[in-house]
Amino acid sequence: MKKKINIFKPYLSVTSTYVGGKSKSEVGATEKIYKLSSNENPLGPSPRAIKAIENQLHTLHEYSDYTGERFRDALEKFYDGELGEDQFVSANSGVDLLEMICRAFLDPGHESIICSPCFGPYALFTKKCGGTVIDIPLKGSAFNLNVHGILDAITDQTRLIFLANPNNPTGTHIGLDAIHQLLEGIPDHVVVVYDEVYQQFVQTTDYTTGVSLVQKGYPVIGINSFSKAYGLGGLRVGYAYSTQKLANYLRQIRRPFMLSSLAQAGGIAALQDKEHIDKTVKLVNSEKPRLYKAFDKIDLKYWKSEANFILIKPELDSRQFTEQMLEEGIMVRPMEGFGAPGCIRVTIGTSEANDAFIKALRKIMA
């Protein structure tokens, strides 16, 4: 008799608990609709990026840069030489980098620590590598990082700790003291994945990007995306930075020709488009107080945000709330899949979009 051998890895059959935000076409939009569900740039893509992509179209018959070195050189200049080009790793979006990191550090039986509510792919990619997810939830109504809980949960099998700063979906940030306390307490076999894709919108002074942490030699990998402030979600381009040792290791699993020529051209140009970033940040951070005021007037629970979205908790089933909002022409996102049941994440849009959202909110909550 033939021996039956299972060729499938059991952990690759993990059912995803993460569901991406729908597009306007997916919800069947046939008239004007405001998409406040995916934290996209309300002003659209970087104009410089669009021009650079258009200028690159005539070269589509040629392969892109094999290693992404040109993009890394641009990143070194963007960071004013605080990090060297060999400390960067480029990829097709921040999500792609998260998956690469899990493949790089996790084998079956290894553990990752997440802090819910958080971005779903942290757990999903861990499971897809055969790893075990250890959840140390954020503490209390302020969603504070449980530093002692994380340190106590570390074992010989722990490899990754996922932190988002600011955090998605809460919009809250991790303060400097908590970050340093955690990094001083972790053993050598643990790497901290520092997801900072919303860093441009931070206003608090009690915040740091991963740059200073990497410069001090901490085992930190900073994750950045062009899908939020730069408005290039459809281009799929992102980058990570870390110590030279960790970055060199990550590049070993990077695919050749990973970034298309259009993605590289758009990304490099967007880095130089300070005017577009400044306009975006000014819009988002000027609209926040107006939304807070509207929430206060109807006594709606919400959390002040350091990102380009706000987490709210209406006294209504989140799915029902989302459907009623859609009927009013507003797309918002329920957060059950992120570990925040009953909550809704709302992207801060243009003044027009926010006016429409406030009007719909008052109608539904009434």
Last residue within a domain, chosen from 247, 272, 297: 272
| Contact partners, residue 155, CB within 8 Å, separation at least 6 | 111
> What is the model's pLDDT at position 30?
47
Q: Are residues 314 and 238 in the same domain?
A: no
CA dist list (Å): 135 to 113, 159, 162, 192, 263: 6, 14, 10, 15, 35
For residue 66, which of 227, 244, 255 has the smallest C-alpha distance? 255
Give yes or no: residues 315 and 194 share one domain.
no
pLDDT at 31: 65
Looking at the structure, do residues 181 and 254 belong to the same domain, yes or no? yes
Nearest to 359 by CA among 335, 327, 322, 328: 328
Question: Are 37 and 156 members of one domain?
Answer: no
Tracing tokens 């934290």 back to the chain, one arrives at: 39
Say whether both 231 and 128 belong to one domain. yes
For 177, what's the count of Cα atoms within 13 Å in the CB-facing half-sphere? 3
| Residue whose structure tokens are 């059950």 | 336
Q: Answer yes or no: are the C-beta atoms of 247 and 89 closer than 8 Å.
A: yes
Give CA–CA dist 150/127, Å, rounded. 19
β-bridge pairing 88-91 and 238-241 = antiparallel
CA distances from 356 to 24, 28, 42, 169 (A): 16, 19, 14, 22
Cα separations in angstroms, 276 against 49, 92, 228, 348: 10, 22, 12, 16
**Has residue 258 been placed in a domain?**
yes
Q: Is residue 12 assigned to a domain?
A: no
Q: How many domains does the chain have?
A: 2
pTM: 0.91
Question: Do 173 and 110 share a structural domain?
Answer: yes
Same domain? For 144 and 239 the reply is yes
Residues 220 and 335 in one domain: no
Q: What is the pLDDT of residues 25-53, one digit of tens each?
A: 555 554 689 999 999 999 999 999 999 99
Residues 178 and 246 in one domain: yes
Q: Rounded to whole angstroms, what are the CA distances from 249 to 221, 286, 328?
A: 12, 41, 49
Examine residue 2 and state whether it is found in any structural domain, yes or no.
no
343 located within any domain = yes
pLDDT per position in the chain (366 positions), as tens?
A: 678 888 788 777 766 555 655 655 555 554 689 999 999 999 999 999 999 999 999 999 888 877 788 999 999 999 999 999 999 999 988 899 999 999 999 999 999 999 999 999 999 999 999 999 999 999 999 999 999 999 999 999 999 999 999 999 999 999 999 999 999 999 999 999 999 999 999 999 999 999 999 999 999 999 999 999 999 999 999 999 999 999 999 999 888 888 889 999 999 999 999 999 999 999 999 999 999 999 999 999 999 999 999 999 999 999 999 999 999 999 999 999 899 999 999 999 999 999 999 999 999 988
Residue 329 forms part of a structural domain: yes
Instruction: Single out the residue in 272, 306, 336 at which a domain terminates.
Output: 272
Q: In this predicted model, what pLDDT tens digit does every residue of 163-192 receive, in sequence order?
A: 999 999 999 999 999 999 999 999 999 999
Q: Do 168 and 205 have their domain in common?
A: yes
Centroid of chain to Cα 223: 8
Which residue range(s) make up the domain with 151?
47-272
Q: Please say which residue of 272, 303, 334 terminates a domain.
A: 272
Distance between CA 314 and CA 118 in Å, rounded?
Answer: 20
Domain assignment present for 295: yes
Residue 40 and residue 51 share a domain = no
* Closest listed residue to residue 43, CA positions, set 222, 361, 275, 241: 275
Residues 149 and 204 in one domain: yes
- Residue 288 forms part of a structural domain: yes
Supply the CATH number for residue 305's domain.
Answer: 3.90.1150.10
CATH number at residue 130: 3.40.640.10
Please check whether residue 13 lies inside any domain of the structure: no
On whether the CB atoms of residues 310 and 291 are closer than 8 A, the answer is yes
